[in-house]
Structure 1
């Protein structure tokens, strides 16, 4: 009886969390301009109008560029930091690890305000570079945690065997270490891209005037009215932010299966 109640409560919690998301997806296909039930019919007109909205397309291009650069920089720095902390004896490695994952422990709004105040103190104006820098700070800990967890499980003996057979440290990394930790690297990159693409709190503080990402564009559209295009845009974001991690998991599973074969 007790477990049945726990399952029922868990089901209610999941419904409370995901039912609004399902409603947004359903209303994005509503033929009527007004989001009401019962729906008058199904249509993709709002997706068509979404594709013709230059402001939204510009926000998409900005978000994709920002997310790609964030993922590239965070993944590169995260892999290098993980290698240094796991494979080598670095003085103060525990302190460095704590420093790297500290942005996860600090509320994002506090981190956003702190960075903004620091840059104002340094007389540095808002720019796309500042926005990218803030996203890298916020996503780097996720990459470090994922890559470190994978790197710890890779035995050092494999790398030492390769070097004992004449491979240089660079060859060992690219031919042995990197392929073994590639699933974690891809997962960290997808984490960084997804978090950057979805971020709104830090972006609102760091973005320069005239630059909009998809979340801030939705926020700006909501100030005027609840347009059906917002539902369509929300559906596209849900597909991207849910589909990319699932795709990454499938790729990582396939890579692991290929190595096992």
Structure 2
């Protein structure tokens, strides 16, 4: 074996070892939160005194947490539905039609995904104060729609570009109008992207904290802001249980969306 080959092998092993360390650094805190959520001790730390679900049971009796969950669930559902409808219409217009200012419209739709959430949060808050508009739950929903809409447009656009227009033209040549062509041909082919973007947007809204801190009405908490307010008081084991549930939602839904998108993509072939 030559010296160059030995050096290349050592370099590749060093890259692999460094990659493993990076993944450990990223996922170790998540693993610690999940493990400590089952700790029987009222002190959230090691060594563990036993395994128990007591903090999950206690969490279910926590009224502020339940109210925050209902708020986050409602906001995320409305955001996901509205973004899906607007995103599908926007993607269809940008991919299938030409009109004046098309590039500007595309830039405006995608721009919120390129701007830091803190900048958007402060900007919209200043705009509301300039307009003397109090913070309401509906304004919080509108803010989440603004943040999440670009992802629907991008995902649906990517899927729509891969759908050949010959299918739609064939349907219209057989007598179908544009609405029936969309319902019977385009929509089923778009369904994998729609499902994936729907779950992605739900997760983005449900897990949002940076912008929600600026836009939520006084006295209203979402799940992330509720966790933050609980951390300001003390580090209770309930926070570990709540964090574990948030991890399940924010990680599980995108994985579910990816699996459903692949399954639907195979079924429509």
The TM-score with structure 2 as length reference comes to 0.95
Q: Write out aligned runs for 1:126-145 (5 A).
A: 126-145=135-154
Match of 2:83 in 1: 74
User: Mean Cα displacement is larger for which, 92-101 or 20-29?
Assistant: 92-101
After superposition, the C-alpha distances for 1:2-32 in whole angstroms (9 at most, x for unaligned) are 1111111111111101100000000000011
CA RMSD in angstroms, aligned pairs only: 0.8
Match of 1:204 among 206, 213, 229: 213
Unaligned 5+ runs, structure 2: 1-9
Match of 1:18 in 2: 27
Match of 1:118 in 2: 127
CA-CA distance at 1:258 after TM superposition: 1.7
Partner secondary structure for residue 52 of structure 2: coil
Match of 1:167 in 2: 176
Distance between the aligned counterparts of 1:121 and 1:112, measured in 2? Answer: 14
The TM-score with structure 1 as length reference comes to 0.98
User: Mean Cα displacement is larger for which, 246-255 or 180-189?
Assistant: 246-255
Give the structure with higher Rg (CA): 2
After superposition, the C-alpha distances for 1:37-75 in whole angstroms (9 at most, x for unaligned) are 221110000000001111101110100000000001111
CA-CA distance at 1:187 after TM superposition: 1.1
After superposition, the C-alpha distances for 1:206-248 in whole angstroms (9 at most, x for unaligned) are 0001111000000110110001000000000000111111111
Match of 2:65 among 50, 56, 69: 56
Match of 2:7 in 1: none
CA-CA distance at 1:154 after TM superposition: 0.4
Moved over 4 A (4+): none
Unaligned 5+ runs, structure 1: none
**Residue 26 (structure 2) pairs with residue 6 (structure 1):** no
CA-CA distance at 1:251 after TM superposition: 1.5
Partner secondary structure for residue 39 of structure 2: coil
Match of 1:221 in 2: 230
Match of 1:178 in 2: 187
After superposition, the C-alpha distances for 1:63-116 in whole angstroms (9 at most, x for unaligned) are 000000000111111110000010011212111111111111111101111111
**Residue 246 (structure 2) pairs with residue 240 (structure 1):** no
**Residue 104 (structure 2) pairs with residue 92 (structure 1):** no
Match of 2:118 among 109, 115, 139: 109
CA-CA distance at 1:173 after TM superposition: 0.4
